[in-house]
């Protein structure tokens, strides 16, 4: 059961990272590009950079979420 809670913490963290990255991308398109296309239309290399950044941010959030759950479970068992 502990592993399920750790995985759930990691998954929720990745969902938060995804909402953050894609939300910022939408805000960039809305306020910087003023609705004239997207970041991916403006620069093809930007798409690669975005997905790399999204992956790194998701990985960092996943590790943080899993470590928070591990610490919470350890504190609960003491």
Task: Express each pLDDT in 11-46 by its tens digit.
Answer: 999 999 999 999 998 888 888 888 777 777 767 788
Kindly state the average pLDDT of the residues 55-78: 93
pLDDT above 70 coverage of the chain, percent: 99
- Cα maximum dimension of the chain: 56
Kindly state the average pLDDT of the residues 44-54: 89
pTM here is 0.83
The DSSP secondary structure of 1-56, one letter per residue, reads -HHHHHHHHHHHHHHHHHHHHHHHHHHIIIIISTTSS-HHHH-HHHHHHHHHHHHH
């Amino acid at each position: 059961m502990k592993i399920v809670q750790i995985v759930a913490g990691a998954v929720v963290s990745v969902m938060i990272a995804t909402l953050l990255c894609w939300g910022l991308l939408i805000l960039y398109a809305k306020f910087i590009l003023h609705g004239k296309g997207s970041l991916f239309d403006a620069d093809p290399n930007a798409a690669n950079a975005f997905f790399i950044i999204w992956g790194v941010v998701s990985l960092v959030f996943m590790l943080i979420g899993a470590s928070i759950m591990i610490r919470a479970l350890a504190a609960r068992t003491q």
